[in-house]
Amino acid sequence: MEHYELAVIGSGPAGQKAAIQAAKLGKRVAIIDRSALLGGMCIHGGAIPSKTLREAILYFSGFYHHQVYGGRRKRDLSIRELLTRCSEVTLSEMRVIVNQLERNRIEVIEGEASFVDEHTVRVVGTGQLSLTANAIVIATGTQPAHPDTVPFEDGLIIDAGNIETLTNLPRSIIVVGAGVVGTEYASMLALLGIEVTLIDQKPTMLDFVDPAIAEALSYHMRDIGVVLHLGEEVVEVARTQNNRVRVTFRSGKKAIADALLYAAGRSGATKDLNLESIGIQPDTRGRLKVNENFQTAHPHIYAVGDVIGFPSLASASMEQGRLAACHAFQIPSSYRPDLLPYGIYTVPEISMVGRTERDLMEQGVPYEVGEARYREIARGQILGDRVGFLKLLFHQESRQLLGVHVIGQGATELIHIGQAVLAFNGTLDFFIGNTFNYPTLAECYRVAALDGYNKVMMEE
């Protein structure tokens, strides 16, 4: 029986970084995955394919350009045209991962992992083997929720992981779930001229996002043709006799479309790990509870990434994996979850870092807001983005930056300027006293800072 200093279950972003960090420390490491295609859901059905699909749709639809130059969308697109680029990027990313693991002498074991005891893992693949490890990291990620009431069927009633089963682009589609995945797919599919109906039982989309940002996204999605049914609960999903999908709401209303994308939640991929045999109990959604060091009920067994729940971001998962490996081998490290940037790839995209207005009000922090609209920035005019804006939250007295919220083109890149200033406890003065390239969207920071500064001066 082989023995390792660290065994990692799952090869997604969290598992990769845990394994690589331990290998960099000179440890003998094994990474176990049920699939020969390494990378987890992030590479094979999650972030990478969906973001690549978004770029392909923006290119083929010419969305931003035809708003400015009056160009036409490409018609009669096939799902194959859109997914070809996704496959290319997925294969490229997978090669990078394999190369990194090989370079760091990490042993890759293909098969289904399950616990025999607290230090022993059985792996069943083409054959069967068992291994022992001093420390174990669970990084199995999540899988789309498949409630019994939804009759999933390839090409008709699908989840985000099997978009490729669509043989043709539907003329209409219903998206159930207005979370991150649902809003991303709803907005990008609408750009193709598909009639999109987005349904969620919550009265607002993305309730963790700044309300002004969420409201702007809601307005823009309606503007590109998405029909929103918020505050509506789906009680039945059924296939019609003419091979379409009918959804019935609790209110009695119905919606019919050519296809349905179910994006209402995900569950931790833990049911095959035999966790009950070692006294670890997942919650009702298969997620694992951990402490601040990502340790489970057993100090040498860690859990990281989407399997532990919010924020379920690839970037956060990578850092959690690295930190877990550091802790397992007593390497000091620091973590700033308060500086974690969020990126949501809707159209337009959204990003945020730091505190929210809701949080500041609840904590009784005296704050002020500075805003800059893309339409008032030269670069915004050039891009033709009249929706975007950047919002700074800062302390009224010290002018210390507290949070940054952005919607519009480049939001997920633009956010990192604010993240850096937050990291060194900077103030509005940093933005006011510095020069930004012209014309760039980065100018929004200076304009928003001046807007906020003027508000504070008027109040004094």
Q: Which residue has the higher pLDDT, 386 or 62?
A: 386
Summarize pLDDT for 232-272 with one digit per residue, the tens: 999 999 999 999 999 999 999 999 999 999 999 899 999 99
Backbone angles phi, psi at 185, to 5 degrees: -70, -40
The pTM is what?
0.92
Summarize pLDDT for 414-433 with one digit per residue, the tens: 999 999 999 999 999 999 99
Summarize pLDDT for 85-115 with one digit per residue, the tens: 888 898 999 999 999 999 999 999 999 999 9
Task: Judge if 2-144+267-338 and 157-264 fold alike in CATH terms.
Answer: yes
Distance of alpha carbon 377 from alpha carbon 451, whole angstroms: 13
The predicted pLDDT at position 45 comes to 78
Distance of alpha carbon 255 from alpha carbon 426, whole angstroms: 50
Q: DSSP string covering 11-60, please?
A: -SHHHHHHHHHHHHTT--EEEEESSSSTTHHHHTTSHHHHHHHHHHHHHH
Summarize pLDDT for 29-56 with one digit per residue, the tens: 999 999 888 888 888 878 888 999 999 8
Strands 128-138 and 2-9 come out as: parallel
The predicted pLDDT at position 310 comes to 87
Q: DSSP string covering 344-395, please?
A: E-SSS-EEEEE--HHHHHHHT--EEEEEEEGGGSHHHHHHT--S-EEEEEEE
Assign 460 a pLDDT band (cuts: 50, 70, 90).
low
Task: Give the mean pLDDT of the chain.
Answer: 93
Where does residue 221 rank: exposed (0-12), middle (13-18), buried (19+ CB within 10 A)? Answer: buried
Distance of alpha carbon 420 from alpha carbon 399, whole angstroms: 16
For residues 430 and 452, the answer to whether their CB atoms sit within 8 Å is no
Summarize pLDDT for 326-363 with one digit per residue, the tens: 999 999 998 888 899 999 999 999 999 999 999 999 99
Average pLDDT (381-406) is 95
Q: Which two tokens stand for residue 265?
A: 């939640």
Residue 66 pLDDT more than 90?
A: no
Please give the C-alpha separations between residue 95 and each of 29, 86, 87, 90, in angstroms, as whole numbers.
19, 14, 12, 9
Residue among 452, 436, 362 nearest 398 (CA): 452
Q: How far is CA 297 from the centre of its chain?
A: 27
Q: Which residues pair with 7 in a beta bridge?
A: 30, 136
Domain 348-455 has CATH 3.40.390.10: no
Which runs of E-coded beta strand occur in 77-224? 107-110, 112-117, 120-124, 128-138, 142-144, 157-159, 172-176, 195-200
Average pLDDT (361-372) is 96
Domain ranges of the chain: 2-144+267-338, 157-264, 348-455
The predicted pLDDT at position 438 comes to 96
The predicted pLDDT at position 36 comes to 82
The predicted pLDDT at position 42 comes to 85
Residues 157-264, CATH architecture? 3-Layer(bba) Sandwich (3.50)
Average pLDDT (2-26) is 97
Summarize pLDDT for 142-196 with one digit per residue, the tens: 999 899 999 999 999 999 888 889 888 999 999 999 999 999 999 999 999 999 9
Residue 70 pLDDT more than 70?
A: no
Backbone angles phi, psi at 310, to 5 degrees: -50, 140
Domain 2-144+267-338 has CATH 3.50.50.60: yes
